Structure 1
Amino acid sequence: MNKRTFFVALVLVLALARCSSTRPPAAGEATPPPVTDVAEAGTPGAEAPDAEAPGTEPLPEPEAAPVLAAPEDWFLLDPDTDGFDGARVERTYQTLLRDRAPARPVVVAVIDGGVDTAHVDLRNVLWVNEDEVPGNGLDDDGNGYVDDVHGWNFIGGPDGENVQYDTYEVTRLYAELSRRFADADPEQLPPSEREAFARYQDIEAAYRRRVEEAEQNYRGIASFLGAFSEASRRLREHFGKDDITFDDLMAIDDSEEALVQARDIYLFLLQMGATEDDLVQAEEHLRIDLQYRLNPDFDPRPIVGDDYDDLSERFYGNNDVTGPDAEHGTHVAGIIAAERDNGVGIDGIAPVQVMILRAVPDGDERDKDVANAIRYAADNGAHIINMSFGKAYSPQKEAVDAAVRYADARGVLMVHAAGNDAANVDSTANYPMKTYLDGGAAAHWLTVGAVSWEPPPEFVASFSNFGAASVDLFAPGVDIYSTLPGSTYGARNGTSMAAPVVSGVAALLMAYFPDLTATQVKDILLRSVTAYPDREVVRPGSDRLVPFGSLSATGGVVNAYRAVELAQTLSGRGD
């Protein structure tokens, strides 16, 4: 389920729980509070956070006209030629790169939850380890990984079993620290333990907030889902059909109280752009939150079979790079590299190869796995690493820092999603990050926020993180249509989608201009943005208008056309 729809569903529940004219609370049901933090900071597809729930004012009557929607490929389009403020990729191919072929193969590593290797639009663009003999059970190339034909899975076991769900990092920290301090008397603690105890108190408070919010939201959404299902049943029975239209709803006699209540519930859902399926998925998400991600007694790590505390351990996992749930990673991979001009599905941004590194479960990724995935990419020829994940805590950051330094020294460009917490990441941590514990920073790193296809002031995605110092540039990240498992397609939202747009444009530059270094590619991307320094936009997480230029270092959006123009100049090719 995409971020925005999930959050809409939650807000809708909270709004309707307050609206007695629509659905009075059930007997004994507490009115849920506003959502304050339901973001899975480390989960692919993390949900959008803080926002004010709608109040109790009467709902405006929905317009009969359909809401404007963007074309499926809007993120590739050009505002001057197509009317949509995308990354200008198609115009670039039709003009600047017309009749040109890529000059070299480029490999983009996708560190994610897995990719569908059989997808019709991806199977021909997968990186292949030519030195490995598939399926012979041997490490033919001696790199420490057996049968790593398309990449590696760091969250699987040697017997082929895979981690699907994992806990949030705050859950793991709470579980670890509570074993030390749950029964501790702070007055009796030695001075050497007091800092750790204070850390435990902070973690415990953060963890309990998450649990309380998940429980309240689960009760609210389950209650509303029941009310909506009953309303839907009543309307289908009244009209004698399954497909209820807007005109049907408007024809209901206001004197029929039960039908009016059912209509209001139905209309509210339609107006918010959500569906019954969205509510079902939101309920499932919260149930899994409570069952797995926020459960301190849940530990899937024995599946992997590594020595988890040994951060130097690198050779564990298996070669199943698809895993049990490859939706997020498949979508990301398609944005970057879905096979172009094959008459099927979509066209990815760049004609490049995708190396698949599975390190992100449904929950928070673990620092050890992220570090090893980065090292694998750097050692096995990746030019770019896309990282569409993030979390609020990084207890083994030193291991990730060392891996980032390793890749950085080898000229690998790392592209990271800014996150979906509607937060200022200049002051709110979102790991991994380019800044090291010792104060240094990776040179070949880009952090990407998300914009939508909507005009100002709704231009910036409502969920996107931002930061004048920490976010480098923005890219399309709303209603992004790409590949999904089973050779299907669909639209998703998130900075998880914006980052691969930038990775794709970077890969395009490297493919067509083979002499460019990662340093030059990063510089080109930053210098070639479409800058909107004074454009007034709604700052995510608020209703305040701010200049778009205040939300990132460049104040701009990735622009493939200008990037290629600049690359032509730098390479001495002006055609």
Structure 2
Amino acid sequence: MLLWGPVEAQRARNFVLHDTTSQAPHNWFNLDPETDRIPGVSTERAYRELLSGKTPTEVIVAVIDSGIDVEHEDLQGRIWVNPGEIAGNGLDDDGNGYVDDVHGWNFIGGPNGEHVDFDTYEVTRLYKVLHAKYEGKTVAQADNKHEFALYQKVKEEFEAEREQWESQAVAFRPFYEQYAAARSQLQAALGKEEITLQDLEQFDPQTDELKLARGIVGFAYTNDLDDAQIEEFHSYITRFLDYNLNPNFDPRHIVGDDYSNKQERFYGNGLVEGPDAEHGTHVAGIIAARRDNALGMAGIAAPVKIMVLRAVPNGDERDKDIANAIRYAVDNGARIINMSFGKAYSPDKALVDEAVRYAAAKGVLLVHAAGNDSKNIDQGDNFPTKRFLGSKKSAENWLEVGASAWGSGTTFVGDFSNYGRKTVDVFAPGVDLYSTVPGSEYRSMSGTSMAAPVVSGVAALLMAYYPELSASQVKDILKQSAVRYTKGRVNLPGEEPESKRGQTRFKKLSNTGGVVNAYYALQLAQKQSKRQ
């Protein structure tokens, strides 16, 4: 049994939760641990018991991500429209430096309407630069000993990962080619596009070639490998080897900026969807999908407008783009910035830190996903980070978010989620969240990328109904009102559950030991508002 209660309370409330281990309950992240017996963030209960009859003010939430399908049926009326811009006239009507930024801005787009889709990992970019300077040298020959040590670390990581995917390719690509040829032969022989295992069992091949084809395709099917899975793995291999881990690949010419000029701000285009908006659209739906249209799913915060900032490719985002996206959001009225991305290295962290300080000075809350590496990030970074470079100080306007699951078992924490008693502030639902994807469709996805927008949505509720609250006050309220997991043990991400280190107490995974909760946060906000 799990014991739950708001962190600020002196006594934890006892809630008996449903132990659902197979399939996520519908709308679970919006449900309540007491009334529904599901450890969501109590959105529905908050609207029903605390917000009925109250009038909110609109809150702009900037989503820095891969792009968003602004035409999605469940996001209609929820996408920010720049009031000072006239769409499609090719002019910077509001004088903010960005032409036709109607819904936000694409910092990885080009002046001719092109887009960066794939990009390298930061470790690949560092490897390329440092390899040219230090390969073949000893530490005694290095001008910069710190940089030389960084190269040794980067080289080991890059070459190990590249070798892993090259080995996968050597093993998989011959099978992939054989499978594709065999499937094509069977399609022609059977006269149908979609082939089932039953088709193969009933088929009587008359040639050795068709017998071999049936054997190859049958082997895949009986091992639960379908066409989509085989194609997906092939695309992964291609992506990693040709793009993410390829030092010779550089798509930055598409953007057309001077990348060495870190202070350059006005580049990109206004086409905010981009070529692959699945991730960003899913994030946007969690925050703001309509609650009044009986379609698909319900987001957390009804009185919200989503500002779309495309800066994250299929690969690692670049610090220059993230810094500029933060500044754009702040300058154009966002009160919350959702950042569901991260990487292992940040060569221009000082640039991002400067933007974070700028957001803090303007009262903007930053919500960041802790990452999906099953690691303790007290002992390793997932950039961007709230701690400033070369300082013990951290951003006061920052929330770091881990991912929780549903039910009362040891699998309460997402097995992929990063954690950290010092670094991670709160957890939020991040396993099997059903939300919007491009083309007015929906699907379930998991990750701290999904947990962060849950927190952004709850923060937006507080700001909408208590607009006098500052970003730092909202942060404190969310932490103080988080619901504690006070009894029992959970699986420690990255460890075998049966091992000595395999389980821990949930309270040790973040500095609050709690899961964000809209109901308790709104109650606390009301108390604080009366005191002001």
Please tell me the TM-score bracket, short chain as reference. Answer: 0.7 to 0.9
Report the residue type matching 2:159 in the other structure: R
User: Which consecutive residues of structure 1, in runs of 5 or more, have no partner in the other structure?
Assistant: 1-65, 249-258
Correspondence 1:1-400 to 2 at 5 A: 68-102=22-56, 104-182=57-135, 184-186=136-138, 189=141, 192-220=143-171, 222=173, 269=224, 277-351=228-302, 352-400=304-352
Residue 564 of structure 1 aligns with which residue? 522
Using a 3 Å threshold, how does the CA distance of structure 1 residues 402 and 157 change in structure 2: closer, same or farther? Answer: same
Residue 408 of structure 1 aligns with which residue? 360
| TM-score (structure 1 length as normaliser) | 0.79
Report the residue type matching 1:437 in the other structure: L
* Cα deviations by residue, 1:327-371 (Å, 9 ceiling, x for unpaired): 110010010001221222221110200000010011000000000
Report the residue type matching 2:519 in the other structure: Y
2: CA distance, partners of 1:334 / 1:187: 51
> Which residue of 434, 437, 442 corresponds with 1:481?
434
Residue 510 of structure 2 aligns with which residue? 552
* Cα deviations by residue, 1:103-141 (Å, 9 ceiling, x for unpaired): x11000000010001111113111111011111111111
Is 2:220–2:226's contact at 8 Å kept on the other side of the alignment? no
Percent identity, aligned pairs only, is 54
User: Residue 167 of structure 1: SS of its match in structure 2?
Assistant: coil
2: CA distance, partners of 1:260 / 1:536: 47
Report the residue type matching 2:506 in the other structure: F
How far did 1:199 drift?
A: 2.3
Using a 3 Å threshold, how does the CA distance of structure 1 residues 230 and 304 change in structure 2: closer, same or farther? Answer: closer
* Cα deviations by residue, 1:188-237 (Å, 9 ceiling, x for unpaired): 725x344333322221111101101222234455577789999999x999
* Cα deviations by residue, 1:500-552 (Å, 9 ceiling, x for unpaired): 00000000111111121111111111011110144300100002011111111
User: Residue 282 of structure 1: SS of its match in structure 2?
Assistant: helix
RMSD after superposition? 2.9
1: CA distance, partners of 2:21 / 2:412: 16
How far did 1:268 drift?
A: 6.0
Q: Which moved more, 1:284-293 or 1:75-84?
A: 75-84
Using a 3 Å threshold, how does the CA distance of structure 1 residues 194 and 562 change in structure 2: closer, same or farther? Answer: closer
Is 1:401–1:437's contact at 8 Å kept on the other side of the alignment? yes
Verify: 1:502 aligned to 2:449, yes or no: no
Using a 3 Å threshold, how does the CA distance of structure 1 residues 261 and 84 change in structure 2: closer, same or farther? Answer: farther
Residue 399 of structure 2 aligns with which residue? 446
Verify: 1:421 aligned to 2:379, yes or no: no
* Cα deviations by residue, 1:265-303 (Å, 9 ceiling, x for unpaired): 75764xxxx865234313312221101010100000011
* Cα deviations by residue, 1:432-460 (Å, 9 ceiling, x for unpaired): 01000131211010000001124321111
Residue 422 of structure 2 aligns with which residue? 469
2: CA distance, partners of 1:262 / 1:324: 32
User: Residue 368 of structure 2: SS of its match in structure 1?
Assistant: strand
Is 1:536–1:546's contact at 8 Å kept on the other side of the alignment? yes
Verify: 1:537 aligned to 2:495, yes or no: no
| TM-score (structure 2 length as normaliser) | 0.86
User: Residue 121 of structure 1: SS of its match in structure 2?
Assistant: helix
Using a 3 Å threshold, how does the CA distance of structure 1 residues 531 and 132 change in structure 2: closer, same or farther? Answer: same
Is 1:115–1:356's contact at 8 Å kept on the other side of the alignment? yes
Report the residue type matching 2:307 in the other structure: M
Q: Which moved more, 1:378-387 or 1:126-135?
A: 126-135
Is 1:112–1:387's contact at 8 Å kept on the other side of the alignment? yes
Using a 3 Å threshold, how does the CA distance of structure 1 residues 278 and 569 change in structure 2: closer, same or farther? Answer: farther
* Cα deviations by residue, 1:139-172 (Å, 9 ceiling, x for unpaired): 1111111111110111011111110110000000
2: CA distance, partners of 1:525 / 1:217: 44
User: Residue 74 of structure 2: SS of its match in structure 1?
Assistant: coil
Q: How many pairs are equivalent?
A: 489
Is 1:166–1:299's contact at 8 Å kept on the other side of the alignment? yes
Is 2:492–2:504's contact at 8 Å kept on the other side of the alignment? yes
Is 1:535–1:549's contact at 8 Å kept on the other side of the alignment? no
1: CA distance, partners of 2:165 / 2:55: 51
Report the residue type matching 2:266 in the other structure: F
User: Residue 436 of structure 2: SS of its match in structure 1?
Assistant: strand
User: Residue 321 of structure 1: SS of its match in structure 2?
Assistant: coil
How far did 1:564 drift?
A: 1.2
* Cα deviations by residue, 1:350-393 (Å, 9 ceiling, x for unpaired): 02000000100110000000000001111111000000000000
User: Residue 395 of structure 2: SS of its match in structure 1?
Assistant: coil
Q: Which moved more, 1:342-351 or 1:296-305?
A: 342-351
2: CA distance, partners of 1:288 / 1:116: 23
Using a 3 Å threshold, how does the CA distance of structure 1 residues 282 and 90 change in structure 2: closer, same or farther? Answer: farther
Q: Which moved more, 1:149-158 or 1:80-89?
A: 80-89
